[in-house]
Amino acid sequence: MKVCVDLGATNIKSGLVKGETLLKVASTPTDTSHGLQGIVASLKGAIDPFMSEEVRAVCVSSAGKIDEKTGKVIFATENLPEYTGFDICGFIKQTYGLPSVAINDGLAALLGEIAITEEYKTKRMVMLTFGSGVGGAYAVNGEIKADESNDHAHFGHYIIEENGLACNCGKRGCAEQYLSGRAINRFAAEAGIEKDRIFAYVAAGDERAQAIFLRLKGYLVKTLAKIQETSPFDICLLGGGVVDGMGDTLEEFAAGLGYDVRRAKAGNAAGMLGANYFGRSLL
């Protein structure tokens, strides 16, 4: 069995996995108020309840840019203070004496979808995660393909509007500025629509919301066209809190785009399942 972890800036989801099945799960708040010390203590607190003699490996999905070969954090934002440079796999080895793997949470989310859907193991897959930002991932025949050729699948920072809105990455016109939850709430506020309610308004036939909905579809088409240039895909999965909030309007959102766009299905378990899939050679 493995302990699989999904480390985020707010919570750490952890679970006991046998084969490809999550047996038990828990959620632990991430203590970011004490820098790296707090984060590491939270990580240990998420893992410890599942440890036993039957556990043979630990697989970690983590926010931040992760070196998947070494398990080290290459870069993390101030959402996870002092986390940059942390050796995740080294910590697991030192603390538990077990082998481990670590992978970026966006990439893990796609692998989680691949793990539960046989069809995806033989396809070219893109995943876009719409939350406070826009995450991306790309895989071919079940293996992640994220390198310099596709900007490590940072699709949320592909430019879709020349000289567009300024992004915190330093560029202008990034997809994240038009498709993230923050962007959508900004559009809604400009139209006089309540925060986080735009898709309910769309479902109710509100003309203001419908106009924004069509704009969002246009931005998605531009994003997919840019992705297709560097990462040719057969299927695009959409996930994240924004997509969850779309409810039944997602079917309309994905229709007529010229691409096979589907809802991600793994939900909150995606990161843990993806980390498990990434570490499948450990057992």
Across the chain, mean pLDDT equals 95
User: If pLDDT is split at 50, 70 and 90, which confidence band does 255 have?
Assistant: very high
Q: Do domains 2-107+270-282 and 119-264 have the same CATH topology?
A: yes
Q: Is the CATH number of domain 119-264 3.30.420.40? A: yes
pLDDT for position 37: 98
The arithmetic mean of pLDDT across residues 15-26, rounded, is: 93
Reported as a single tens digit per residue, the pLDDT across 45-74 is 999 999 999 999 999 999 888 999 999 999
Is the CB of residue 235 less than 8 Å from the CB of residue 210?
no
- Token digits of residue 154: 């940072």
User: If pLDDT is split at 50, 70 and 90, which confidence band does 133 have?
Assistant: confident
Q: Where are the domains of the chain?
A: 2-107+270-282, 119-264
The arithmetic mean of pLDDT across residues 7-19, rounded, is: 93
User: If pLDDT is split at 50, 70 and 90, which confidence band does 169 have?
Assistant: confident
2-107+270-282 belongs to which homologous superfamily? ATPase, nucleotide binding domain (3.30.420.40)
Residue 283 reports pLDDT greater than 80: no
pLDDT for position 69: 92
User: If pLDDT is split at 50, 70 and 90, which confidence band does 194 have?
Assistant: very high
pLDDT for position 131: 85
pLDDT for position 261: 97
The arithmetic mean of pLDDT across residues 143-159, rounded, is: 93
> What is the pTM (predicted TM-score) of this model?
0.88
The arithmetic mean of pLDDT across residues 205-229, rounded, is: 97
C-alpha 85, offset from chain centre: 21
